[in-house]
């Protein structure tokens, strides 16, 4: 809730700038100018880096006793109040082969943030440069040593923070009602008022979060480039990146997951941007490169496929849970894939889902050495969940209602057709579900929420990317292919 509010705040005031929204309230008090943070590059090129707060300032990790004390300027910033909401309603009643569906849902959500008068603290960079001249990091400091050991982590310095000046509030209101009959299941919720055997449920929640003064809502950083001697430089330009020169600084780590895509292919993917108004054929080679990673899903016994699929059906409907599961899988992927994951940072419901996911993955097929099979399954699951994490909230809502093999088969057939031949004829047997108006409208909403326009022209469907699609079309295709592979094979 706090992270959602700060994310909306940054999108409104600095959408293409360098401000980073605070994701956790507990970390906000340490994000003051000159605080040292660790920037962690993620596994996949579409993932934004993660910034991890530390309990240290730059002076704490320097050699010598003299601290660095550049001037920190405080100024008025702006007054902010924002309200964001959605009203959703829909009805689907149709037959897709042997699948009978009758789903009707209505819902609304509203997030109101009243942050009041905000201020900004900003370090004087000229003074910071002067006082940093001739200074060295203490390379024996524990934080320096631990960060240096990891190729995907670099030091960054908080240079600016936006903070509250008075007690303020975040209010979230959610109302949701759904009726579901037939074979299709429906997602559950952590806050449920009533459930009955006919598959009806309604949800109401009204949460108020009081935020105290001096709470940091957003911040910006400047990265450090550290030489083996401990001498450091400040990366002043936005397109320059820090690191430890003794290590292969910059770029994602060639670890467990990225190693499954060869080096040249990985570099090409990292530079990939989907142009506006382009057909989805531009994604064909990219998807072919990812498809083998999902092979372990098809090799699972059917019972284990169902178990993992059921857990993922609960994960996809909860944005916070997706991020929590990604953190757990990141822990496993950072090592040899066998170390136990730390679940202490998750809430009880997230911990249960993450534990169920790990248990389902732990029953995967193993190779003769006893580890390769589970590592491959970990790679497949991590890729799928990271793709889900990168999708828009609207896309996740629609996708959560498509968790049935026939629906996923139709979506996978549609994506294959779009990426190979640009169009999908509605006359083919595989496209039969798409001839139902209600399902076609659901598909169009799903693609539209991923910046892809699907239009019906005579007896075929055609898809083109929208304005500034970014990675959204690719992430939708990866997610659908991964879920379809888990339930129907690659």
Task: Quick: pLDDT tens for 388-445.
Answer: 999 988 898 889 888 888 888 899 999 999 999 889 998 888 888 888 888 889 999 9
Domain C-terminal end among 188, 216, 244: 244
pLDDT confidence band for 357 (50 / 70 / 90): confident
Q: What is the pLDDT of residue 272?
A: 54
**Within a domain: 473:** yes
Residue 188 token pair: 């559950």
**Within a domain: 197:** no
> Are 237 and 373 in the same domain?
no
> Are 356 and 477 in the same domain?
yes
- In angstroms, the Cα distances linking 413 to 101, 327, 423, 463, 480 are 20, 31, 11, 13, 10
Alpha helices in 92-148 (DSSP H): 125-132, 142-148
> Are 357 and 432 in the same domain?
yes
Asked whether the beta carbons of 257 and 383 are under 8 A apart, the reply is yes
CA–CA gap between residue 209 and residue 65 (Å, rounded): 42
Chain segment 11-60, per-residue pLDDT in tens = 888 877 889 999 888 888 889 999 999 998 888 888 889 899 998 999 99
**Within a domain: 42:** yes
> Are 292 and 236 in the same domain?
no
> Are 31 and 134 in the same domain?
yes
> Are 297 and 349 in the same domain?
yes
> Are 239 and 329 in the same domain?
no
Q: Is the pLDDT of residue 196 over 50?
A: no
Alpha helices in 177-291 (DSSP H): 263-270, 284-290
**Within a domain: 321:** yes
Exposure of 383 by Cβ count < 10 A (0-12 exposed, 13-18 middle, 19+ buried)? buried
**Within a domain: 212:** yes
> Are 322 and 437 in the same domain?
yes
> Are 219 and 316 in the same domain?
no
Q: What is the pLDDT of residue 228?
A: 92
Q: Give the structural domain span for 455.
A: 254-490
> Are 238 and 311 in the same domain?
no
**Within a domain: 70:** yes
Q: Is the pLDDT of residue 370 over 80?
A: no
Domain tally, the chain: 2
Neighbour-count burial for 87-119, b at 16+ CB within 10 Å, e otherwise: eeebebebebeeeebebebebebebbbebeebb
CA–CA gap between residue 53 and residue 26 (Å, rounded): 10
**Within a domain: 89:** no
CA–CA gap between residue 334 and residue 28 (Å, rounded): 26
> Are 435 and 457 in the same domain?
yes
> Are 225 and 266 in the same domain?
no
């Amino acid at each position: 809730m706090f992270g959602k509010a700060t994310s909306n705040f940054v999108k409104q005031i600095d959408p293409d700038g360098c401000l980073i929204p605070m994701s956790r309230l507990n970390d906000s008090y340490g994000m003051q100018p000159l605080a040292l943070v660790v920037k962690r590059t993620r596994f996949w090129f579409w993932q934004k880096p993660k910034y991890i707060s530390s309990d240290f300032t730059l002076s704490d990790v320097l050699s010598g006793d003299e601290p660095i004390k550049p001037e920190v300027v405080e100024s008025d910033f702006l007054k902010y109040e924002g309200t964001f909401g959605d009203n959703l309603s829909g009805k689907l009643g149709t037959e897709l082969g042997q699948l009978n569906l009758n789903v009707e849902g209505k819902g609304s959500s509203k997030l109101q943030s009243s942050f009041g008068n905000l201020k900004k603290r900003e370090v004087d960079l000229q003074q910071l440069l002067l006082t940093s001249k001739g200074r060295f990091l203490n390379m024996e400091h524990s934080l320096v040593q631990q960060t240096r050991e990891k190729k995907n982590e670099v030091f960054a310095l908080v240079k600016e923070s936006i903070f509250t000046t008075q007690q303020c509030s975040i209010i979230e209101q959610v109302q949701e009602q759904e009726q579901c009959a037939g074979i299709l299941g429906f997602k559950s919720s952590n806050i449920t008022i009533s459930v009955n055997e006919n598959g009806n449920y309604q949800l109401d929640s009204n949460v108020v979060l009081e935020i105290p003064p001096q709470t940091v809502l957003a911040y910006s950083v400047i990265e450090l480039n550290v030489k083996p001697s401990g001498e450091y430089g400040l990366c002043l330009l936005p397109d320059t990146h820090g690191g430890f020169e003794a290590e292969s600084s910059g770029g994602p780590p060639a670890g467990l997951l990225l190693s499954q895509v060869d080096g040249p292919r990985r570099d090409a993917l990292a530079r990939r941007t989907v142009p506006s108004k382009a057909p989805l054929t531009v994604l064909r080679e990219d998807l072919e490169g990812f498809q083998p990673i999902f092979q372990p899903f098809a090799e699972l016994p059917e019972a284990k496929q169902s178990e993992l699929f059921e857990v993922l059906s609960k994960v996809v409907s909860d944005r916070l849970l997706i991020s929590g599961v990604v953190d757990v899988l990141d822990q496993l992927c950072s090592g040899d894939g066998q170390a136990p994951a730390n679940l202490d940072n998750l809430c009880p419901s997230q911990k249960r889902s993450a534990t169920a996911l790990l248990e389902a993955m732990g029953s995967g097929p193993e190779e003769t050495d006893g580890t390769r099979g589970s590592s491959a399954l970990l790679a497949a699951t991590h890729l799928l969940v990271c793709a889900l994490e990168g999708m828009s909230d609207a896309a996740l809502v629609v996708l959560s209602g498509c968790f049935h093999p026939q629906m996923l088969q139709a979506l996978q057939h549609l994506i294959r057709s779009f990426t190979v031949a640009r169009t999908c004829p509605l006359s083919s047997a595989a496209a039969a579900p798409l001839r139902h108006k209600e399902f076609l409208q659901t598909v169009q909403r799903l693609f539209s929420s991923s910046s892809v326009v699907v239009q019906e022209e005579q007896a075929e469907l055609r898809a083109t990317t929208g304005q500034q699609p970014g990675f959204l079309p690719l992430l939708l295709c990866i997610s659908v292919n991964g879920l379809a592979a888990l339930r129907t094979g690659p």
